[in-house]
Chains A and B, each alone.
Chain A
Amino acid sequence: MHDEPTLAAHLRRQGISRRSFLKFCAATASLMGMSPSMAAEMAEKLGKVTRPSVIWLSFQECTGCTESLTRSHSPSLESLLFDFISLDYHHTLQAASGEAAEHAREAAMKANFGNYLVLVDGSIPLGEGGAYSTIAGRTNLDLLQETAKGAAAIISIGTCAAYGGIPYADPNPTGAVPVSAIIKDKPIINVPGCPPIPLAITGVVAHYLMFGGLPELDGLGRPKSIYGETIHDRCYRRPFYDQGKFAKTFDDEGARAGWCLFELGCKGPTTYNACATTKWNGGTSFPIESGHGCLGCSEPNFWDAGSFYKALSAPISPLGKAAAAAAAAGAAAGVAITFHNRSAKAKAKAAHQTVTVKDLEK
């Protein structure tokens, strides 16, 4: 596959029209926060690049991220992406199996050392020496460390790879950790979500292809262009929030009228993602549009953040040990002071002399 000179030529051979390609570039440019004029430039640049080798590592995951990327019907933007890159290793999608599959990974690493992209979905279990998840007899940790060595960059696809996700949730029996806990010497882009929006995945890859570098990231390692605003700020139900109109149950008048789901536990106000704008299933809808609050799936620790149905103003996590000890000490001090004050009051009560009208003057 590596003999293919450019993307544009490859696409033409695949029967993908220039029109479809430009459309993809325009959509990706707008998602990545670039000016419309960049679409043409992107098309030009993308058309010229040779397809980079991509190694997709699936660790402790549910394959939902891959589903997200591939479930869209063709000719979608996402399927186009498979033609932009040379996906040399991917458990779910590759035809090869057994030693041949591992050989494909090793060959790609060798041929493109220092230049290939590693996409990871799933967390890495460290418990029991990594025995909870192995591929071809090797632990995920081992595979990741080996594969990461020659990577140009690592893209952590999904909340598990980015922040640990559900395997990482309390009590984390497998000792799962995110990619960033292991790899310290390579640039890492987090594309969280459970699963991430397909366009977020393709957008980051397109950005890398076009500019050869990483997009601007926020404090949690996410591309600002996609994760720059909260679901809440971009939600079509936001005007109801501003008017104080809230659904109180999932089947009341307010719910039917499409009022804000804040009181039903929507995590939109604290969740940074693009669901409210790009939507899902080819722009059909997103969770809030189908009547359910946002779960906050693209945020770290979302699974441990209390009930999905508890409003945000309620405390979302149990007290930490230090806080609990402080509260206990405070309660004990309170009890002691109460006893002291009660006895002071009881003494005063005992000293009470009935006041009659004769006792009102000095």
Chain B
Amino acid sequence: MSATLEKGVNAFREVMDAPIASFFNSCVHCGLCADACLFHTETGDPKYTPIYKLEPLKKIWKQEYTLLGKLASMVGLSQPVTDAELEEWSPLVYDSCTLCGRCTVMCPVGNDITYMVRKMREGMAASGHAPAGVIEATRKTIEQGSPMGILPKTFLAQVRDQSEETGIEIPVDQAGADYLVIMSSMEIMGYPEFLGSLARIFKQAGVSWTVSSEAFEATNSGIQIGVSDIARQIVMRIVDAAEKLGVKYVISPECGHAYTALRWDGPNLIGRPYKFGVVHVLELLDQLHKAGRLKTEGKTDEPLTLHDPCQIVRRGGVVAEPRNLLNMVASDFREMEDCGSYNWCCGGGGGVSANHRAEELRFKSFQVKKRQIEGTGVGLMVTACANCRNVLEEGLEHYHMDTKMIGITELVAEYLKEDKPA
């Protein structure tokens, strides 16, 4: 109970770096980011213009880091940021931004608005303006190890289940393995078959791998709520476990923000490079296929489409891989309109799915996804992020759509060529 406005404003000052200063300076107020944001396009409300969501942070930048702004606040033309103002902005910063990055790619002057929202959340969280649902998820991650409250024993039980189901032993805490597999809590709870599918694929491909009883949670609530101190602590769990086991790579699972947190933010948070590499599971599967180690047989004739998870595709650069894999096992893969790097977010990334306050807005903005799905005319949608999948399933149900969903790894595993004993 110790969050204060002062701490928040101090955090705003602290995050002010050269990129943010130049982004604010470069903004030409063209409003193109508004049309890039699903919360704006689906509501038509101008307050959801991405750059506007940063107004308090911009105010601090102007008042304390620019000459004119300083003069303006000295003569009373510019008022200091207040608690009430931050409270008003909380829904803009947390509910109506999934950190999807679409505004960033649309910005004609190249402002990384997503980066700024992420940084602004530092001050919002430190001043006590983070939404209750996201605070709760963060607390559970720190206190219990996972935002959904999954304990190590729950995870190990799922590992055992999948071992039994597939008849393949899943190595636990095996030092010296090449790859460490981690999962998102959404996968552990909702889609544990991801692990079984991976076990089958890795068996065929002869991949040396393990899971860890100490670090199994891939998601990072610290990134979503915007507290680097907490994000660092969460990422260190994986770093410690991976470096203790001496693995060569950690595989980021089918979870968007987990990939961003581990691959891009992690080394900056801990202030040093990892002693291992990070690879997304889709990248690895594509590599294995290209090396001839992953073989599939047959293809589904069912028309299907792909939902590109923002953090993996747009922010992560894994664009071609999911398409290579899909074309390997599907004969009728149809792209959505605005696919790839320009895809529309599921609406629940960046902590929004954990934020109950945002539910109504989330369903409203799901309409763009609905149009995209209907435009393809298919009944099966594939994705590569468990959070996207969960949010999409909720949206589909809300709008009474009968589109089915599946993860790419599972789909690939379904068509795995069984090695027959010679």
**A interface with B by C-beta (< 8 Å):** 337, 341, 344-345, 347-349, 351-362
Question: Which of B3, B10, B14, B64 contacts A359, CB < 8 Å?
Answer: B3
**B338 CB within 8 Å of chain A:** no
For A351, list chain B residues within 8 Å (CB): 10
For B11, list chain A residues within 8 Å (CB): 348, 352
A357-B142 in contact given A341-B65, A348-B14, A349-B14 (Cβ < 8 Å): yes
For A345, list chain B residues within 8 Å (CB): 13-14, 16-17
**B237 CB within 8 Å of chain A:** no
For B248, list chain A residues within 8 Å (CB): none
**Beta-carbon contact of A344 and B64 below 8 Å:** yes
Inter-chain CA distance A337–B61, complex, in Å, is 13
Output the nearest chain A residue to B139 by Cβ-Cβ distance. A357
**Beta-carbon contact of B3 and A344 below 8 Å:** no
**Beta-carbon contact of A353 and B7 below 8 Å:** yes
Inter-chain CA distance A345–B21, complex, in Å, is 12
A344-B65 in contact given A360-B128, A360-B130 (Cβ < 8 Å): yes
Chain B residues numbered 226-241 whose CB sits less than 8 Å from any CB in chain A: 227, 229-230
A348 to nearest B CB, angstroms? 4
**B135 CB within 8 Å of chain A:** yes
For B3, list chain A residues within 8 Å (CB): 359-362
Inter-chain CA distance A353–B142, complex, in Å, is 18
**Beta-carbon contact of A341 and B230 below 8 Å:** no
Chain B residues numbered 1-57 whose CB sits less than 8 Å from any CB in chain A: 1-4, 7, 10-11, 13-14, 16-17, 21
Inter-chain CA distance A357–B234, complex, in Å, is 12
**Beta-carbon contact of B16 and A357 below 8 Å:** no
B267 to nearest A CB, angstroms? 19
Q: How many A-B residue contacts, CB cutoff 8 Å?
A: 62
Contact with A along B112-148 (1 / 0, CB 8 A): 0000000000000110101000010011001100000
For B227, list chain A residues within 8 Å (CB): 355, 360
**B67 CB within 8 Å of chain A:** yes
Output the nearest chain A residue to B65 by Cβ-Cβ distance. A341
Chain B residues numbered 125-177 whose CB sits less than 8 Å from any CB in chain A: 125-126, 128, 130, 135, 138-139, 142-143
28 contacts between A and B (CB under 8 A): A341-B65, A345-B14, A347-B13, A348-B14, A349-B14, A351-B10, A352-B11, A355-B7, A355-B126, A355-B229, A355-B230, A356-B230, A357-B138, A357-B139, A357-B142, A357-B143, A357-B230, A358-B1, A358-B2, A359-B126, A360-B3, A360-B125, A360-B128, A360-B139, A361-B1, A361-B128, A362-B3, A362-B4
Output the nearest chain A residue to B226 by Cβ-Cβ distance. A355
- When A and B form their complex, which 7 residue pairs have the shortest distance between CB atoms, in order from nearest? A348-B13, A362-B128, A348-B14, A357-B139, A360-B135, A357-B142, A355-B229
A306 to nearest B CB, angstroms? 28
For A344, list chain B residues within 8 Å (CB): 13, 64-65
B5 to nearest A CB, angstroms? 9
For B330, list chain A residues within 8 Å (CB): none
For A347, list chain B residues within 8 Å (CB): 13
**Beta-carbon contact of B67 and A337 below 8 Å:** yes
Inter-chain CA distance A356–B126, complex, in Å, is 9
Inter-chain CA distance A353–B65, complex, in Å, is 22
For A362, list chain B residues within 8 Å (CB): 1, 3-4, 128
Q: A354-B229, A355-B125, A359-B2 are in contact. List 4 more A-B contacts (CB 8 A).
A: A348-B13, A355-B7, A356-B229, A362-B1
Inter-chain CA distance A341–B11, complex, in Å, is 14
Output the nearest chain B residue to A353 by Cβ-Cβ distance. B7
For B181, list chain A residues within 8 Å (CB): none
B140 to nearest A CB, angstroms? 9
Inter-chain CA distance A356–B135, complex, in Å, is 11
**B225 CB within 8 Å of chain A:** yes
**Beta-carbon contact of A352 and B14 below 8 Å:** yes
A269 to nearest B CB, angstroms? 25
For B14, list chain A residues within 8 Å (CB): 345, 348-349, 352
Inter-chain CA distance A356–B228, complex, in Å, is 10
Question: Which of A341, A354, A360 contacts B16, CB < 8 Å?
Answer: A341
Most buried by A among B14, B139, B143, B230: B14
Inter-chain CA distance A352–B123, complex, in Å, is 11
Contact with A along B381-412 (1 / 0, CB 8 A): 00000000000000000000000000000000
For A360, list chain B residues within 8 Å (CB): 3, 125, 128, 130, 135, 138-139, 225, 227
A310 to nearest B CB, angstroms? 26
For B138, list chain A residues within 8 Å (CB): 357, 360
Inter-chain CA distance A359–B142, complex, in Å, is 13
Inter-chain CA distance A348–B123, complex, in Å, is 12
Output the nearest chain A residue to B66 by Cβ-Cβ distance. A337
Inter-chain CA distance A361–B136, complex, in Å, is 11
For B13, list chain A residues within 8 Å (CB): 344-345, 347-348
For A357, list chain B residues within 8 Å (CB): 135, 138-139, 142-143, 230
B194 to nearest A CB, angstroms? 28
Output the nearest chain B residue to A341 by Cβ-Cβ distance. B65
For B139, list chain A residues within 8 Å (CB): 357, 360
B184 to nearest A CB, angstroms? 20
Inter-chain CA distance A348–B128, complex, in Å, is 18
For B67, list chain A residues within 8 Å (CB): 337
For A337, list chain B residues within 8 Å (CB): 67
Inter-chain CA distance A353–B2, complex, in Å, is 11
For B17, list chain A residues within 8 Å (CB): 345
Chain B residues numbered 306-320 whose CB sits less than 8 Å from any CB in chain A: none
Inter-chain CA distance A347–B229, complex, in Å, is 18
B137 to nearest A CB, angstroms? 10
Inter-chain CA distance A356–B130, complex, in Å, is 13
Inter-chain CA distance A116–B104, complex, in Å, is 71
A84 to nearest B CB, angstroms? 60
Inter-chain CA distance A115–B264, complex, in Å, is 83
Inter-chain CA distance A352–B122, complex, in Å, is 11
A358 to nearest B CB, angstroms? 7
B143 to nearest A CB, angstroms? 7
Inter-chain CA distance A158–B21, complex, in Å, is 53
Output the nearest chain A residue to B221 by Cβ-Cβ distance. A357
Inter-chain CA distance A230–B378, complex, in Å, is 57
For B16, list chain A residues within 8 Å (CB): 341, 345, 348
For B230, list chain A residues within 8 Å (CB): 355-357
Inter-chain CA distance A40–B287, complex, in Å, is 80
Inter-chain CA distance A348–B64, complex, in Å, is 12
B82 to nearest A CB, angstroms? 14
Most buried by B among A355, A356, A358: A355
For A359, list chain B residues within 8 Å (CB): 2-3, 7, 126
B116 to nearest A CB, angstroms? 16
B74 to nearest A CB, angstroms? 15
For B130, list chain A residues within 8 Å (CB): 360
Contact with A along B64-81 (1 / 0, CB 8 A): 110100000000000000
A49 to nearest B CB, angstroms? 63
**Beta-carbon contact of A348 and B10 below 8 Å:** yes
Most buried by A among B21, B225, B229: B229
